[in-house]
Structure 1
Amino acid sequence: MKTIYMPEIKRDDRIGSVFNSLFNIINICDCEDEIIFDFKDRVFFHPFFIAPLAIYCDTPGRRTQNINLNNGLQAYLSTIFFDSPQIITCASDVDNIIRAYGRKTYTPICKFLTDSADRDQIESQIQHLIEIQSAASGEAKMPLSYLFSELITNIVEHSQSKYGYIYSQYLNTEGCVDICIADNGVTILGSYIQANKYIDDIQGDPAEALRLAVGGFSTKNLPNTENRGYGISSSIRMLVEGLRGSFFILSGSAFYRHDKNGKTIVRLPDSIEWHGTIVLLRVPIKNLPADFNCYKYVE
């Protein structure tokens, strides 16, 4: 059994920066079956830290224990289902969540069946909850809907994962919603390999696979639409170029970040790997750019 002292996470607006701390924890957890998280002297955790950590720990055979939690933090972790994500199998499950969380600024960490017959309705209702919590204006609802739908569809169609994960939190000071969408599937590299596409270009490099994915190169046979900015690529352009938001994706052992500071693709050391794909979005909800036009990014 290994004890991990939880790091102090500052409110850094550099999306994905919390993974500097998460990678250290993942490296330890991959070698241990039982982990103790020591929260001594900790009062705040960024949503982009606490949600990915909970999703990462939701692995069969991995046992965790939390110690030294103050009352406020203990209540928060319980409410977001940190120790065991809220399982969603049908639309009525989300109805209960909307009633319980409509007045909060965050959702529970939700674990949904990717093959649920109610998937479209589940997606729509969770999006509706986010709109309620953030008091999103009419002009903010359409891009939020597009981003949400595109990225969840990618999980369902490409990950081959039984479950997907969603978590969001509205940050009033920033006027943004932080959204985490994840799976424990085959990764983007694995998706290309299984589709037998662009194999010579990728050469087994997860960073190259990620570069193709964010560039709009589909694993599907879509000769009339491929490379025209559909899926992930159009979502990134809408979010970063249009809304002035931020995007981060980690798949296997490579990550891509795109924000106001530019674009970065990094291949991680072989000892560090996310078992699946996780996407972080910082979506502006208030004071959208005056020149933003959603239809510029939707074909």
Structure 2
Amino acid sequence: MKYSMPSSLDLLGSLDLTLELEALANDSEYVFDHARLSRVEPFGMLLAGAKIRDFVASHEEANHADVNFRQHTYAGHMGFFQSILQDFGKKPGEASGSSRYIPITEILVEDMRKEAGGSSELRIKNIEREAYKLAVVLSQRNDDLCEYLTYSIRELIRNIVEHSKAKSIWIAGQYWPTDNLVEISIMDQGLGIQCTLSRNPKLKINNDRDALFLSIEPGITRKGHLKIDPYDEWANTGYGLYMTSSICQRGGDFAICSGDSCLYLNENINKMYSAAFSGTAIRMRINTRRISKLTQDLKMLLQEGERLARHNSKQAVLSASKISRILAN
């Protein structure tokens, strides 16, 4: 059976790919044809790569092949084809990267734990090191924005390490100067948002859609004191997704995909798309022309987060329908 890759591995193209592969009938051979593929983006490569790897693993008795892919040198340089088990281009993490791009990189959670040697302090510093790499690209070296993004992305990576039971964290990023656009993406193939948040008895979660809306609320995954300190090296505040989604929503757009749903946010809308992905994938985008304005809004976003967290803490049971941030859109 031949499967034609989408013309664009952007947000919508990669979501379509997950649904199409999920619906493919069983066969003895699958040929992935890349002839139509013309554009690839970090999120799309991470999500498509994960879905294709899962598909190959779940159809291990079939033969798998790729055709018409050698012209895609950018995707090869970024590590996409090696990530889908095709011996072409660089391996994930092999390209050097720069302030303009981060190649597809796999960070093994077990290696991160071993490097820390059981030290919580070293583990957090290792996580912060990876977060800083992503924040530098996303902020395009704006110091204030980079500091807040480092803190927020650190929380996202820390949650993967501590709660998702994922074996790996996958990252990638790209800055397109002519489009004034920068994107970074983070993905894991762990338990997924719904399974992780369902451990909290205060949350009413009926489906993946509810879980995604709840996940971007401040303080949802945190217990105890509500006040946030962005310079506290130890506190796991539960503000990581709130801050990254709020920053990107005001200055670009944000997407988070888990299970059968993908939540997309920008300044004007929130929209839910269908998906088929076991794990969590996050896309953060910023229009670089808006970075200066964003830096002026950072403290306001934190204050708003504290207000929302206080509001949510007063709810005996919190459901997606009670989230004021959603109702305000």
Match of residue 232 from structure 1: 241
TM-score, structure 2 length as denominator? 0.69
TM-score, structure 1 length as denominator? 0.75
**CA distance change for structure 1 residues 144 and 223 in 2, over 3 Å: closer, same or farther?**
closer
- Counterpart pick for 1:258 among 262, 265, 277: 265
Match of residue 57 from structure 2: 61
Match of residue 31 from structure 2: 36
Q: Contact 1:182–1:279 at 8 Å: present in 2 too?
A: yes
Gapped regions of structure 1 (runs ≥ 5) = 87-93
Match of residue 124 from structure 1: 129
Map of 1:1-299 to 2, 5 A cutoff? 2-9=1-8, 16-28=11-23, 35-59=30-54, 61=57, 64-71=64-71, 73=72, 75-85=73-83, 100-102=96-98, 105-115=100-110, 116-117=112-113, 118=115, 120-121=125-126, 123-125=128-130, 127-128=132-133, 131=136, 136-193=141-198, 195-198=199-202, 201-202=204-205, 204-216=206-218, 218-220=220-222, 222-225=223-226, 230-241=239-250, 244-265=251-272, 268=274, 273-290=276-293, 292-293=295-296, 294-298=298-302
Q: Which amino acid aligns with 1:245?
A: G
- The secondary structure found in structure 2 opposite 1:235 is helix
**CA distance change for structure 1 residues 43 and 253 in 2, over 3 Å: closer, same or farther?**
closer
Q: Contact 2:138–2:184 at 8 Å: present in 1 too?
A: no
Aligned Cα root-mean-square deviation (Å): 3.6
Within 1, Cα distance between the matches of 2:279 and 2:140? Answer: 32
Per-residue CA distance 1:164-202 (angstroms, 9 max, x = gap): 111111111222321111111111111133x25235x22
Q: Which amino acid aligns with 1:252?
A: G
Aligned length in residues: 273
Within 2, Cα distance between the matches of 1:280 and 1:10? Answer: 13
Per-residue CA distance 1:74-131 (angstroms, 9 max, x = gap): x333322223449xxxxxxx9x857x2338x432211112241345436525733773
Once the 2 structures are TM-superposed, how far is the Cα of residue 286 of structure 1 from its aligned partner?
4.6
Q: Which amino acid aligns with 1:78?
A: G
Within 2, Cα distance between the matches of 1:132 and 1:206? Answer: 30
Q: Contact 1:249–1:256 at 8 Å: present in 2 too?
A: yes
- The secondary structure found in structure 1 opposite 2:209 is helix
Task: Give 1 or 2: higher helix fraction.
Answer: 2
Within 2, Cα distance between the matches of 1:33 and 1:106? Answer: 38
